[in-house]
């Protein structure tokens, strides 16, 4: 089966993300879950973002990339929210990536190099009314440009206005959207 590296969101490596990783494991995949918060988790996005700012986004990115250095290169990178940045960077710049899944965030392709590797499929998932994804940060615009430029890219929009909607341990959880996300990720993992 497939090896996966899953990078957590701003609330940390929560029970909800651990459950998502366990679902992938239950389908036969090996899932690595680096914890760049070193055990800290938060019940709210605001508290998690405050922690990320305190530690420094650059430091968190460095920790995530360093964690991946100890793992095989032929993996699928999965990132949620702030975890998208290391997932996207590694899938784009580290040789051997099999695919990427970006949830709740997307950076322009140019952020980590001139182009996305032709042989690396990518799924981008977000809610169409999420203020972080669809409005403030320009992530949705970046995702649309990504899909226009990269033949192996897919954008999946879900109705709703939540961020971190795929984490069942948080109040923002959307069961129907999370179930569809999980199906799409499992289909991708089966295909690579």
Separation CA 152–CA 120 (nearest Å): 7
Structural element, H or E, at residue 84: helix 84-93
Separation CA 82–CA 8 (nearest Å): 7
Residue-level pLDDT at 26: 97
- Within 8 A by CB and 6+ apart from 177, the residues are 127, 158, 159, 160, 165, 166
Residue-level pLDDT at 84: 96
Closest CA to 116 of 104, 134, 99, 103: 99
* Residues facing residue 153 across a β-bridge: 122
Give per-residue pLDDT as tens, 60-112.
889 999 999 989 999 999 999 999 999 999 999 999 999 999 999 999 999 88
SS3 124: strand
Residue-level pLDDT at 135: 85
Q: Where exactly are the structural domains of the chain?
A: 3-191
Residue-level pLDDT at 18: 97
Separation CA 6–CA 18 (nearest Å): 10
> Backbone dihedral region of 48: left (phi > 0), alpha (psi from -120 to 50 degrees) or beta?
alpha
Give per-residue pLDDT as tens, 151-171.
999 999 999 999 999 999 999
Separation CA 4–CA 72 (nearest Å): 10
Give per-residue pLDDT as tens, 136-149.
778 999 999 999 99
- Could you say which architecture CATH assigns to the domain 3-191? 3-Layer(aba) Sandwich (3.40)
Give per-residue pLDDT as tens, 4-29.
999 999 999 999 999 999 999 999 99
Residue-level pLDDT at 89: 95
């Amino acid at each position: 089966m497939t090896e996966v590296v899953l990078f957590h969101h701003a609330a940390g490596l929560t029970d909800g993300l651990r459950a998502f990783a366990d679902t992938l494991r239950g389908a036969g995949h090996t899932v690595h879950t680096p914890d760049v918060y070193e055990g800290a988790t938060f019940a709210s996005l605001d508290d998690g973002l405050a922690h990320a700012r305190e530690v420094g986004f650059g430091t968190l990115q460095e920790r995530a990339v360093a964690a991946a250095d100890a793992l095989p290169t032929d993996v699928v990178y999965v990132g949620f929210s702030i975890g998208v940045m290391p997932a996207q960077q590694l899938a784009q710049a580290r040789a051997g990536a099999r695919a990427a899944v970006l949830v709740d965030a997307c950076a322009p392709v140019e952020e980590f190099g001139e182009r996305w590797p032709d042989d690396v499929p990518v799924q981008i998932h977000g809610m169409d009314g999420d203020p972080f994804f669809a409005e403030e940060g320009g992530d949705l615009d970046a995702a649309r440009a990504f899909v226009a430029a990269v033949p192996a890219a897919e954008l999946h929009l879900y109705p709703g206005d939540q961020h971190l909607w795929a984490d069942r341990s948080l109040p923002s959880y959307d069961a129907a959207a999370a179930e569809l996300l999980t199906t799409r990720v499992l289909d991708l993992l089966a295909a690579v």
